[in-house]
Amino acid sequence: MAAMGRIGWTLSAISIAIAVAGGMVFLSYSNDIDRARSAVANGARVANTAAGPIEYAERGEGTPLLSIHGAGGGWDQGLTNVADLVGRGFRVIAPSRFGYLGTPIPADASPSAQADAHVALLSKLEINKTVVVGVSAGARSAIELALRHPDKVSALVLIVPGTYAPESPVMLEGSRGSAFAFWLVNAGADFAWCATEKIAPSVLIRFLGVPPELVEAAPAQDRNRVMAIIRGVEPLSRRFPGINMDSAPDLHRLPLEKIAAPTLVVSAQDDLFNTLPAAIFAARSSPGAKLVVYDTGGHLLVGQGGKVKKVVSDFLAQTGTMQPFGSGAGTSVRPKAPAPTVSLTRS
């Protein structure tokens, strides 16, 4: 009987501990989700364009730069992406793509229609020509924009592009943890996403295309950046219609040889979304494009931030859109030529 009593006491203690931990997670979730909802409700505006309502945000002054976010994003991710890539001297326009935050999904939500919507926003803002930066799934409409409206694009930058490759397509990382995270996306489960962030962040890190062991070994600054990106997906329920579209793309070969803008393509060999074949294909198919590939970094290019910023800044300087970044020797950017410039960066 005494043993039974001890077992009962232990089970009760465990139950209490679980309840307390659950209550703490829920309290943290309540505070976090309130902040996230407030942030996305107050940082942007909606333009009524010829393509319908488009939510967007602007920062800075200078050369126009259209920042097209990836999966799980919105205007807020668009601003963050460019802040990591370029310095001052740009008027950054960051739209929410179809299905993200305040931009609805139209009848035609294809990358080509999204590209036309980008141009409609630029026209509304009286911008004639812009640098275009497309990250991950955002590279799809960035390429379409360069093809369909070449007069609008002064330079094209594709970062870990989630685009077409003939033999090795971009795909969702296939672990059971990523399958669980994708279920969260489909459920629009704000609380489950937040709880997983607190309890098992490695699941979400892998879902974002980064080997968790890479983040564990990274400096604190890089670890904090990755966790900020994970938190930046909140509120998930405001983004999952767009994520679902991005996760099942109808990718096909485009006439990349017709891209007229100077083009830079960046990827990593260990990107769990397998963007490297698409990056190589895009660079080889676009006249004179520059390709930079890192050994490590995953889909978020963890640990490569300073190098990527220099490569992008030097490329834009070569196109005449900004001054070179920093000083000393760096990766050169060649003018348009029949074949791509390829840089394999060891790290």
pLDDT digits (tens, 9 = 90+) for 219-253: 999 999 999 999 999 988 889 899 989 988 889 99
Query: Contact 136/152 with Cβ under 8 angstroms?
Result: no
CA distances from 171 to 207, 208, 242, 247, 272 (A): 11, 12, 16, 8, 8
pLDDT, tens digit (0-9, with 9 covering 90-100), for 177-228: 556 666 666 666 788 888 888 889 999 999 899 999 999 999 999 999 999 9
E strand intervals along 126-192: 130-135, 153-159
Domain ranges of the chain: 45-171+249-323+332-345, 176-246
- Beta strands 153-159 and 130-135 are parallel
Please identify which residue in the block is written with the tokens 């370029």.
Answer: 86
- Name the pTM for this structure: 0.84
pLDDT, tens digit (0-9, with 9 covering 90-100), for 274-310: 999 999 999 999 998 999 999 999 999 999 999 999 9
346: pLDDT confidence band, cut at 50, 70 and 90?
Answer: very low
Work out the mean pLDDT of the chain and round it to a whole number.
84
- CA 134 to chain centroid, in Å, comes to 8
Q: What is the pLDDT of residue 265?
A: 98
How would you classify residue 164: left for phi > 0, otherwise alpha for psi between -120 and 50, otherwise beta? beta
- The mean pLDDT value for 64-68 works out to 97
* Domain range 45-171+249-323+332-345, CATH architecture: 3-Layer(aba) Sandwich (3.40)
24: pLDDT confidence band, cut at 50, 70 and 90?
Answer: very low
Q: What b-and-e string marks burial along 105-123, b requiring 16 or more CB atoms within 10 Å of the CB?
A: eeeebbbbbbbbbbbbbbe
